[in-house]
Amino acid sequence: MPGRRLDKGRDGSRTFPPQSCDFTMLRTHTCGELRSEHIGQSVTLGGWVQNYRDHRGLVFIDLRDRYGLTQVVFNLSHDDQMQSVARGLRSEDVVLVEGEVISRSENINPRLATGEIEIKAVRLDLLSKSKTPPFEPSTTDLPNEELRLKHRFLDLRRAAVQQSMVLRHALTKATRNYFDEHGFLDIETPILGRSTPEGARDYLVPSRVHPGSFFALPQSPQIYKQILMIAGYDRYMQIARCFRDEDLRADRQPEFTQIDVEMAFVQRDDILDVIDGLMAHLVRELRDEELALPLPRLTHEEVMERFGSDKPDLRFDMELVDIESIAGACGFGVFKNTIEAGGRVRGLNARGAAEKYSRKMIDELTAFVGDYGAKGLAFFRVGENVLDSPIAKFLDDQHHREIIEALSADPGDLLFFVADTAAVTSQALAALRNRLGRELQLYDPSELNIAWVIDFPLVTYNEEEDRWDAEHHPFCQPVAEDVPLLKTDPGAVRAQSYDLICNGYEAGSGSIRIHDASIQQDVFDLMGIQSEEAEMRFGFLLEALRYGAPPHGGVALGLDRWVMLFAGHDNIRDVIAFPKTQKAADLLSGAPSPVDDRQLRDLSIKTDLPESS
RNA sequence: GGGGCCGUAGCUCAAUUGGUUAGAGUACCGGACUGUCGAUCCGGGGGUUGCGGGUUCAAGUCCCGUCGGCCUCGCCA
């Protein structure tokens, strides 16, 4: 079958098979289909009126469907009745037009894929009159997002949104094909499940027949897919909807979709290899490019040191540099005191940026890193063997030269430093690095830079609760040689876990799971989960583990994020047909909404609202 | 829960330091027009400046609150 790849039409619309009108009785062709080879044919098109140009005796309309745009011409000399209907057509009316494909001869429109022809109408059916739309799908300056979401049925008519939906379909299809070819079974898991208090806040669904009890919508199919491994379904995949009741971001929706994968009788690298293959497959299918494999595998320790982030944007360098020895010895109190207090002084070099950032802009950057806990942002403009800065006077010439050398700086460079705890220097400088990379245009925005981050810590210490919390989740297998450290130095234990990162986004995450009940018990102990409690929360998994569990592991990729990345967007609402707002509302349907008292009574639920409502 | 930006005609935006009757483009309505393709030309209607309160002789503009949208910190095993 030809044309498996996406093909971009001259008018920017994407065509995607099937292009023809199979299974359609009302139409003979789509609005993106007709070319000069069809001249002379009698055809019927259906679509939405995108634009009209009324010359009284001669009326043109641009007829649109999701395949493209075709011009239709109505001629007065032909049919009075039809002409008066044609003159009344307005944006978004739905019509069926029968006519002859004719050449546009000298009036060809080169900007339209169908621009060599037009339809000379002999019959016009106005199937559905449209109200005047609040915005037109063809608009170039987009209305505000609230309006777009309220009238999502209009927004979805926009070519750009339709392209995203087609891309999403193509990505999903290519993913299923890939896993199918490698023997994976697509198995569905429950949407109504059991609440597990760990992790994100659950969306709850009350049970009518069990008053006072609730289902939880899945945060992910994690436990079910592990049980499938124990049950012998050794290669599982699912395009799974997940739900998390946490605050939203540009790349986070309360319901989202994961490409969920799990395999048995595997080690970490088997999983990484499978996903490497998937990414290469997707890049080939969707971009017609070859991805170099294996994807880079960087340790968590390394990326935190080099970039200050566990999901660095690897499209550009500008790595973090530690200047502890200089800072500790210099005369600048903030630096010196930070080192003496066990903190860190790290910085980065914005090459050639000395003249691009005014003092005022640097003040703005200082406020920016403040959001990440940095109490200040030291900066130096680099000259010949000398640094220019309000704090330059606290450093002697030797220190100037050492800093220049440490950051391999050249005249005209702009250096930034943060002195604080290790965590704050990481967070602040990672955020600064991303911002500078964008502002200085250090990368090609169309590039996809994909890599693995491996060897995450198994647990991190939770100061507030005075306990160790799972970095990934409580079923994650420690690295074998680190197991003895579980009881002596938990913070040093590495997990057999991995994140797939792309352009600064976490776009996938997974691990090898614990399949040994005694190690699982050690991990629960470490996290302060008593066995009784563990039985209560995860008992059905623990019980399953006691009946013959193969070694297994898996990964979940964020489908919405991948579509966003492939589409070149910067928020996932653009690649979701019916997304929710930041307050988790659907402006189209009005969800969530109050319900009848009757419904609440059936569910044995009483509401207790704050005074104001 | 915290910080930031935004809200003016159906839509996109403008409105000097707080100062005359809140403007423009587009959309819409009426008219003209047989080769347009962002059609063109003539004419017309259209405003509780998100909502509530306050300051002031005077508020789209300043202050407080509130609602909504977006970005973000916390949060998201």
Using the structure, give the distance in angstroms from the CA atom of A60 to the C1' atom of B31, rounded to a whole number: 19
Which nucleotide comes closest to A112 if you measure CA to C1'? B37
CB A309 under 7 Å to nucleic chain B: no
Which nucleotide comes closest to A102 if you measure CA to C1'? B35
CB A58 under 7 Å to nucleic chain B: yes
Nearest to A70 by CA among A139, A11, A136: A11
Using the structure, give the distance in angstroms from the CA atom of A135 to the C1' atom of B10, rounded to a whole number: 8
Residue A525, pLDDT score: 82
CB A222 under 7 Å to nucleic chain B: yes
Using the structure, give the distance in angstroms from the CA atom of A136 to the C1' atom of B29, rounded to a whole number: 18
Beta bridge partners of A12: none
Using the structure, give the distance in angstroms from the CA atom of A612 to the C1' atom of B65, rounded to a whole number: 13
Whole-number Å distance between alpha carbons of A209 and A603: 8
Nearest to A553 by CA among A280, A275, A188, A176: A275
The structure tokens listed for A438 are: 């964008």
Q: How far is CA A4 from CA A18, A177, A283, A586, in A?
A: 10, 13, 13, 34
Q: Closest residue by Cα to the C1' atom of nucleotide B7? A: A144
Residue A609, pLDDT score: 78
CB A513 under 7 Å to nucleic chain B: no
Does residue A18 have a cis peptide bond before it, meaning omega lies within 30 degrees of 0? yes
Which nucleotide comes closest to A570 if you measure CA to C1'? B71
| Positions in chain A short of pLDDT 50 | 1-18, 612-613
Which residues 245-304 of A interface with strand B at a CB distance below 7 A?
246-252
CB A305 under 7 Å to nucleic chain B: no
CB A193 under 7 Å to nucleic chain B: no
Give tens-digit pLDDT for A499-532: 999 999 999 999 999 998 888 888 888 887 777 7
Dump the DSSP string for A309-323. Answer: SSS--TTS----EE-
Check: CB of residue A186 under 8 Å from CB of residue A176. yes
CB A371 under 7 Å to nucleic chain B: yes
CB A71 under 7 Å to nucleic chain B: yes
Residue A11, pLDDT score: 41
Residue A517, pLDDT score: 80
Which pTM does this prediction carry?
0.94
End-to-end CA distance of chain A: 59
Which residues 225-244 of A interface with strand B at a CB distance below 7 A?
244
Which nucleotide comes closest to A144 if you measure CA to C1'? B69
CB A91 under 7 Å to nucleic chain B: yes
Using the structure, give the distance in angstroms from the CA atom of A138 to the C1' atom of B20, rounded to a whole number: 40
Using the structure, give the distance in angstroms from the CA atom of A590 to the C1' atom of B22, rounded to a whole number: 34
Whole-number Å distance between alpha carbons of A172 and A166: 10
Using the structure, give the distance in angstroms from the CA atom of A138 to the C1' atom of B12, rounded to a whole number: 14
CB A427 under 7 Å to nucleic chain B: yes
Phi, psi of A392 (to 5 degrees): -60, -30
Q: Closest residue by Cα to the C1' atom of nucleotide B77? A: A199
Check: CB of residue A512 under 8 Å from CB of residue A285. no
Check: CB of residue A411 under 8 Å from CB of residue A384. yes
Which nucleotide comes closest to A246 if you measure CA to C1'? B76
Dump the DSSP string for A398-417. Answer: HHHHHHHHHTT--TT-EEEE
Using the structure, give the distance in angstroms from the CA atom of A137 to the C1' atom of B10, rounded to a whole number: 14
Beta bridge partners of A297: A452
CB A115 under 7 Å to nucleic chain B: yes
Q: Closest residue by Cα to the C1' atom of nucleotide B41? A: A55
